[in-house]
A = this chain, B = another copy of it.
Amino acid sequence: MRAVQVGICGLGTVGSGVFNVLTRNLSCINNRSNCEINIRQIGARRDNPLCDTSNIDTTVDIFDVAKNPEIDILVELIGGTTVAYDLVMTALKNNKHVVTANKALIAEHGMEIFATAASRGLVVAYEAAVAGGIPVIKALREGLSANQVNWVAGIINGTTNFILSEMDNKGRDFNDVLAEAQEKGYAEADPTFDVEGIDAAHKLVILASIAFKMPLTLDGLFTDGITKLEPQDVAYARDLGYVIKHLGIARQTDQGVELRVHPTLVPQKSMIAGVNDVSNAVMINADAVGTTLFYGPGAGAEPTASSVIADIVDVARSIESSPESKVNALGSPISKLEQPTIIAIDEIETSFYMRFSALDKPGVLSDITKIMADSGISIEAIVQKEQPAGEDYVNVIIITNVTQERLLNTAVEHIENLETVRDTIKFIRVEHLDQ
């Protein structure tokens, strides 16, 4: 069997997972790759006590690995977009194939990286960059290659999904759950990347690029996090038959492509509503296949390693074949990608959940429903929630039918101007994901 030499850069959580799974399952991995895969060198600032690397050439300078003439595939697991970028570009310039789990790197520098790789007949594989152990890049790029994709919607950040699951199942407060998530290691000390939706945005851009044959770009993408979600909205949503999930949504419409990450009400009975804790799931709706869903662990050492090693196997197996016989990084060749119009958030069409506080007296609901009607918005449900004793105001919850967000904004403004309505109106988008 042909031998393929692998260099691993980074021996943190994912790196140790890759090292240990590859070592443990090497014989069946070799069978599946039709190669003998060797870990030729490891580049890491320090040892990881979880890995016995005593028989392996190690270096503290990861660029040694990128330049090592014996190495065929460099595995980038250091994260970030600065050193990792330099490392990957150095590896490519030294004619190494690259496997990475780095979503930020691919989302921000993917076009340059893929172009460099393509010009040298090299592969940059990145299954682990989206949805951890779920082979969704492969599913979308190869398994569904016959299709025109209509939309992709996914729970693609485990941290936010853990927080929302706890808020939903136990009625807990955002900050309270976040603190626990940090304690358990599900959330970083600085959780901004996760809870503000930036990590999900990186992953969504990658999925959208493959789905809609467009270059990778974060431009125009709308992002809203979960930090302002209140337990009462989670509870009201459930009363109305919905669950709140933090979704990345990319949709092709006649006007262009929607790219948005935000809390979303989804029907309780939908498959995606049942995705709890740190799990991820990606739904893909496409013209031939209809709706599919891919579910599994979105993070963790060994789930991520599963995807990293699957990429190593793919690259190793076909390492001697021609560039045209390999899967294009984004499905279609770079030259065929086209930038669509990215639809502004107030131009999107969806349903909405609205909550506000209104005086509990005759005529108030009629004023509100008149404003909605005048704005051209039809209402699916309107519910008035009992006020606590002695309180003059009640919570009013509305679920609208599908409407343009711009129309909703106008209605919101008019309702907020009513003297009978207190404070600002809270709204959350609703998706049925059934078409």
**Chain A contacts to B: CB under 8 angstroms:** 2, 17, 21-22, 24-25, 28-29, 31-34, 127, 133-135, 138-139, 141-148, 213, 269-271, 274-275, 286-297, 300, 302-303, 305-310, 313-314, 317-322, 324-328, 331-333, 336
Q: Bound complex: CA of A269 vs CA of B292, how far in Å?
A: 20
Q: Which residue of B lies closest to A284 (CB)?
A: B296
**Nearest 3 A-B pairs (CB), nearest first?**
A135-B143, A146-B309, A292-B296
From the candidates B138, B147, B310, name the one contacting A25 in the complex (CB within 8 A): B147
Contact of A310 with B144 in the complex, beta carbons under 8 Å = yes
Q: Which residues of B contact A289 (CB under 8 A)?
A: 133, 296-297, 302-303, 306-307
Kindly list chain B residues whose C-beta atoms are within 8 Å of the C-beta of A314: 142, 145
Residue of B nearest to A17 (CB): B288
The answer on a CB contact under 8 Å between A303 and B288 is yes
Give the oligomeric copy count.
2
Cβ–Cβ < 8 Å partners of A134 in chain B = 292
Q: Which residues of B contact A29 (CB under 8 A)?
A: 145-146
- Given known pairs A29-B146, A135-B142, the reply for A318 and B321 (CB within 8 Å) is yes
A2→B323 CA distance, assembly (Å): 13
A148 close to B25 (CB less than 8 A): yes
CA–CA, A416 to B142, complex, Å?
Answer: 54
Query: Do A2 and B324 touch (CB < 8 A)?
Result: yes
Choose among A17, A21, A33, A296 the residue with the greatest number of B CB atoms under 10 Å from its CB.
A296
C-alpha gap A300/B291 in the complex (Å): 13
Contact A32 B332, CB 8 Å, known A143-B310, A292-B296, A293-B295:
yes
> Given the complex, which residues of B lie within 8 Å of A313, measured CB to CB?
142, 145-146
Query: Which B residues lie within 8 Å of A34 (CB)?
Result: 324-325, 328, 333
Given known pairs A142-B138, A310-B144, A313-B142, the reply for A328 and B288 (CB within 8 Å) is no
Q: Closest B-chain residue to A35, C-beta based?
A: B324
Compute how far the CA of A144 lies from the CA of B31 in the bound complex, rounded to whole angstroms. 13
Flag if B295 contacts A145 (CB, 8 Å): no
- In the assembled complex, how far is the CB of residue A319 from the closest CB belonging to chain B, in whole angstroms? 8
CA distance A419 to B133 in the complex (A): 55
Q: Is the CB of B146 within 8 A of A135?
A: no
- Distance, CA A25 to CA B317, complexed state (A): 29
A142 to B309, CA, bound (A): 10
Nearest-Cβ distance from residue A39 to partner chain B, whole angstroms = 14
A to B CB contacts below 8 Å, 14 in the list? A28-B148, A34-B328, A133-B292, A135-B142, A270-B274, A271-B271, A274-B274, A289-B306, A289-B307, A290-B297, A291-B297, A292-B294, A293-B295, A320-B321
Contact (Cβ within 8 A) B293 A296 = yes
| Chain B residues within 8 Å of A322, by CB | 320-321
- Give the shortest distance, in Å, between A283 (CB) and chain B (any CB): 9
- Bound Cα distance A263, B286 (Å): 31
Partner of A138, one of B143, B308, B319: B143
With a cutoff of 8 Å between Cβ atoms, the chain B residues found around residue A291 in the complex are: 296-297
Chain B residues near A321 (CB-CB < 8 A): 318, 320-322, 325
CB distance from A366 to the nearest CB of B (A): 38
Instruction: Give which listed residue, B25, B310, B318, contacts A318 with CB less than 8 A.
Output: B318
CB proximity of A153 to chain B, nearest CB, Å: 13
Task: Tell me if B274 and A32 are in contact (CB < 8 A).
Answer: no
Cβ-neighbour of A296 out of B2, B287, B290, B307 (below 8 A): B290
Query: Chain B residues near A290 (CB, 8 Å)?
Result: 133, 296-297, 300, 302-303
Q: A146-B307, A289-B306 are in contact. List 20 more A-B contacts (CB 8 A).
A: A21-B146, A22-B146, A25-B288, A28-B213, A31-B213, A133-B289, A133-B292, A135-B142, A138-B138, A271-B275, A271-B295, A274-B274, A286-B306, A287-B302, A288-B305, A290-B297, A290-B302, A290-B303, A317-B324, A320-B322
Inside 8 A of A2's CB, which chain B residues have their CB? 324
Known A138-B139, A296-B290, A296-B293: A332·B146 in contact at CB below 8 Å = no
